[in-house]
Amino acid sequence: MITLKSEREIKKIKEAGHVLYGALMAAGEACIPGKTTKEVDKVIEDYIVSHGYNPSEKNYSEGDEIPFPASSCISVNDAIIHGIPNEYVLKKGDLVKIDVVVDKDGYYADAARAFIVKDEDEIDEDYPEQKRLVEVTKQSFFEGIKYAKVGNRISDISHAIQEYVEKNGYSVLREFQGHGVGIAMHEDPGIPNFGKPGKGPRLQEGMVLAIEPMVCQGRKEIMESDDGWSIITEDGSLGCHYENTIAITKNGPIILTNE
Ligand code: MG
């Protein structure tokens, strides 16, 4: 069932999204050589909690999975999503994807960013392979939401994402997708990152959606890693992820997970 949110509810989700954005930026600053992903997760948790919000991913589980043990998903290099923060020590050139959900008073926001680990005197341009993958993944989100208009269908967004990613020589994974969000972490509808346009529910004012392209540098096939959570590319190529929560309004989409 798709729930439509009121203006007041969208405001609450945006407030959570603002804290989430701050947590992601703090996490990006912490992605430096020598830090463990567990230490980065601690930065995220502290940021969220100190702002009076909850890191929703902590102890999250679906069905009989082990509860998720951290406040963020941190996925490095060939891991695309659902990475568990651990003792892995970040090194120069690592591509780190951080996916966080924040809630308060029953309102949820969901977003992800990718960061390139580098020394203080380096810039992203020093890592052109990673940088291009990050930029294409991010831009595919913006290509997708050009279609996030009242009256369009869900797969119009999906199609635009796939087309842009493939045009740039990468692939989109098929097994995971975007989703409704706002009064729960995962709501209907599902929003694949591929497919023909003109399918799925029509977009309506008040829909709140997490749009999240998941992109493989090489082939689209994935597998689960030994930790029981991380999703990694089968061919070992880099994976990338970019996500925002958006609201559908009569004046077009509004991003709820930014400054
Ligand atoms: Mg997410």
Residuewise pLDDT in 10s, the chain (259 residues): 999 999 999 999 999 999 999 999 999 999 999 999 999 999 999 999 999 999 999 999 877 777 889 999 999 999 999 999 999 999 999 999 999 999 999 999 999 999 999 999 999 999 999 999 999 999 999 999 999 999 999 999 999 999 999 999 999 999 999 999 999 999 999 999 999 999 999 999 999 999 999 999 999 999 999 888 899 999 999 999 999 999 999 999 999 999 8
Distance between CA atoms of residues 94 and 122, nearest Å: 13
CA of 121 to the centre of ligand 1 (A): 30
What is the residue type of 127?
Y
* Residue in 133, 71, 125, 123 with CA at minimum distance from that of residue 98: 71
Evaluate whether residue 251 is within a structural domain.
yes
Evaluate whether residue 2 is within a structural domain.
no
* Residue in 235, 244, 253, 12 with CA at minimum distance from that of residue 110: 244
Q: How many residues does the chain have?
A: 259
CA of 179 to the centre of ligand 1 (A): 9
CA of 210 to the centre of ligand 1 (A): 7
Distance between CA atoms of residues 27 and 48, nearest Å: 11
Per-residue model confidence (pLDDT) at position 227:
84
Evaluate whether residue 162 is within a structural domain.
yes
CA of 112 to the centre of ligand 1 (A): 6
Distance between CA atoms of residues 139 and 146, nearest Å: 11
Per-residue model confidence (pLDDT) at position 62:
79
- Collapsing DSSP states into helix, strand and coil, what is residue 107? strand
The total of structural domains in the chain comes to 1
CA of 189 to the centre of ligand 1 (A): 15
Evaluate whether residue 99 is within a structural domain.
yes
Evaluate whether residue 159 is within a structural domain.
yes
CA of 99 to the centre of ligand 1 (A): 5
Evaluate whether residue 1 is within a structural domain.
no
Evaluate whether residue 173 is within a structural domain.
yes
CA of 241 to the centre of ligand 1 (A): 9
Evaluate whether residue 176 is within a structural domain.
yes
The CATH number of residue 217's host domain is 3.90.230.10
pTM above 0.95, yes or no: yes
Q: Which domain holds residue 172?
A: 7-255
Q: CA of 138: how far to CAs of 63, 113, 121, 145, 146, in Å?
A: 31, 9, 24, 11, 13
CA of 199 to the centre of ligand 1 (A): 23
CB atoms inside a 10 Å sphere around CB 19: 22
